[in-house]
Amino acid sequence: MIAALAFYVFAAILIGSAAMVVSARNPVHSVLFLILAFFNAAALFLLAGAEFLAMILVIVYVGAVAVLFLFVVMMLDVDFAALRGGFQRYLPVGLMVGLVLLIELGLVLSGWKFLPEAASIRFAPGVSNVSNTAQLGRLIYTDYVFLFQSAGLVLLVAMIGAIVLTLRDKGDSRRQVIARQIARDPNHTMVMMNLASHVGTKDLGYLRPTETEPEEAGDMPEQDHHEHAAQDVARGGHH
């Protein structure tokens, strides 16, 4: 009874927030509603006993994807008004197509019935005394290892694609070379000097790396070699 009640509550909020995602005027609100929708979907998974999926949904979608969306929305200067214009222009057509599709699917689903054999050919549910994380793990690494590896390849392609399409090696870009970082000798990068007390230092302003060694420039937190640098300025890369 409580489970049913919870289901309807979560489902209602899920649908409501999904509707808000598309209709909210402020894009930041849209993303926040999306996060709410994810949470509710996770709750529905929990109700169905799929705690692993619920956690994954929260961690991956809320923790990573939605936050990424938020960054994008906030940082990129997207003209949402123009997008919305397109939305309104296509709305009538879209509604009509959607409506016809809905009617058609309604007609189809009204005849919902299981095949007599359906129950027999459906995979047997998992063993009851094993958590579904373990069950999923067993399935993925045994019966579905082929699909698992294929999915891995899909991700590999996505990664290569992202790099190919966006990485620009401009020559002056800053890249971390760990070996050089570790091999660094403090004597070359730090100047110790005595300062008279109560004198203070001059305003050093914002330290920038020297341009004398373009090869090295991007390699590591840059040190200031100037004589007036009084302390270890370990903050490179703020550019």
- CA-nearest of 226, 219, 145, 124 to 181 is 219
Query: Cβ distance 38 to 58 under 8 Å?
Result: yes
- First-last CA distance in the chain: 58
Identified binder of another protein from the candidate list 60, 78, 100, 134, rule CB under 8 A: 100
CA-CA-CA-CA torsion sign (20, 25, 31, 32): negative
Residue 79, interface with another protein (CB under 8 A)? no
Query: Cβ distance 192 to 223 under 8 Å?
Result: no
Identified binder of another protein from the candidate list 75, 82, 107, 124, rule CB under 8 A: 107
Residue 108, interface with another protein (CB under 8 A)? yes
Q: Per the structure block, which two tokens stand in for 134?
A: 């373990």
Residue 192, interface with another protein (CB under 8 A)? no
Residue 170, interface with another protein (CB under 8 A)? no
Residue 19, interface with another protein (CB under 8 A)? no
* 2 vs 121, beta carbon nearer another protein: 121
Residue 118, interface with another protein (CB under 8 A)? yes
Residue 124, interface with another protein (CB under 8 A)? no
Identified binder of another protein from the candidate list 4, 124, 127, 164, rule CB under 8 A: 164
Residue 84, interface with another protein (CB under 8 A)? no
Q: With CB under 8 A as the contact rule, which of the stretches 32-40, 64-72, 114-122, 178-186 interacts with another protein? A: 114-122
Q: With CB under 8 A as the contact rule, which of the stretches 8-16, 67-75, 144-152, 225-233 interacts with another protein? A: 144-152
* 118 vs 196, beta carbon nearer another protein: 118
Residue 235, interface with another protein (CB under 8 A)? no
> Chain centroid to CA 195: how far?
48
Residue 175, interface with another protein (CB under 8 A)? no
Residues in the chain: 239
Size of the site for another protein (CB under 8 A): 43
- CA-nearest of 209, 205, 202, 206 to 225 is 209
List the alpha helices (DSSP H) in 48-144: 51-56, 67-75, 80-110, 118-121, 132-141
Residue 213, interface with another protein (CB under 8 A)? no
Name every residue whose Cβ is closer than 8 Å to that of residue 222 and which is 6 or more positions away in sequence.
207, 208, 209, 210, 236, 237
The DSSP output letter for 126 is: P
Q: Distance (Å, rounded) from C-alpha 210 to C-alpha 225?
A: 8
Residue 227, interface with another protein (CB under 8 A)? no
Residue 115, interface with another protein (CB under 8 A)? yes
Per CB under 8 A, residues contacting another protein are 86, 90, 93-94, 97, 100-101, 104-105, 107-109, 111-119, 121-122, 138, 142-147, 150-151, 153-154, 156-158, 160-161, 163-166
